[in-house]
Amino acid sequence: MSADTLKKISLSKVFSAAGDYLTKNWKAMGVFSLINYVLTATGVYILGGTQHPLFLLLLVVMYLFWGCFFRFYFKKKPYFEVRPFVRSLAPSVKVVFVTVVVVWGFLMLPYIPLFLGFASEAQMQGYLDQYVFFLQKYMQDTPLLDIVLNLILVLIMPLVLYRPMLAWVAALMGRRGSLRIAWSKTKGNYRQFVLMALVMNIPMVLLGFVAGVSGVGEVVSLLIFSPLLVYYNLVIAQVYDFFYLQD
């Protein structure tokens, strides 16, 4: 296949292949789901969130865990090897940086008028007070905000997560973890990635909604979330396989 030929991914085949792998390897995937549940529950219930001093260590463990997951899927032994994991830090740091910048940009949008110099300090303080009141009264307590934020998330995830994540997987496999290569290989598939983000995001939203309405505890939600996250990473593995290995 020439470098100028665009590859179009079939999402139906990707989701189907991920499901087939999950069912055929249900024991191993069950173990990964259980470990993911334990790690996530540790962060939520034992450490109590990001403020705990050991939370950063937990993130490192989870980083190594998912790296081993992809190496297990692609049968790269040993499943933990120092050099690929170190090389994978470069694309992962870039992914985190881009994500933080994008999220920060969205959070700062309402404050743009404050930096235009058209209002006095007192007027800016008044604007801040009105904005906070509006946010609390009309946005935090309405499902419309969640819908809008999730739609925005679906549109930007191909740019800040899915495509860059392929570069991270490539680094774990011993290839070049170049974001430019990832973008080049997936060129022309933005719509497919948006649809994939939509399909993968809907169950998460429904899970949160059902848990909130039915009163199901976080323990049950995490039990459902863990194998779902494993399946989603199998989808990412299938996408990587298509763009990087099926030349």
Amino acid 158: pLDDT: 83
pLDDT, one tens digit per residue, over 106-127 is: 666 655 655 665 555 555 566 6
Q: Give me the amino acid identity at 79.
A: Y
Highest mean pLDDT, choosing among 98-112, 147-161, 170-184, 217-231: 170-184
**Which one has a higher pLDDT value, 23 or 109?**
23
Q: Which region among 176-185, 197-206, 213-222 has the lowest average model confidence (pLDDT)?
A: 213-222
Give yes or no for residue 217 having a pLDDT over 70: no
Longest dimension (CA), the chain: 65
Single pTM value for the model: 0.82
Amino acid 2: pLDDT: 47
Residues 6+ away with beta carbon under 8 Å from 242: 7, 9, 14
Q: How many CB atoms lie within 10 A of CB 125?
A: 12
Amino acid 39: pLDDT: 93
Please report which confidence band the pLDDT of residue 16 belongs to, taking 50, 70 and 90 as the band edges: very high
Which of 156, 151, 184 minimizes the C-alpha distance to 170?
184
pLDDT, one tens digit per residue, over 144-160 is: 666 777 787 788 888 87
Q: Which region among 22-26, 131-135, 194-198, 210-214 has the lowest average model confidence (pLDDT)?
A: 131-135
Alpha carbon distance 86, 38 (integer Å): 25
**Which one has a higher pLDDT value, 197 or 149?**
197
Q: Give me the amino acid identity at 90.
A: A
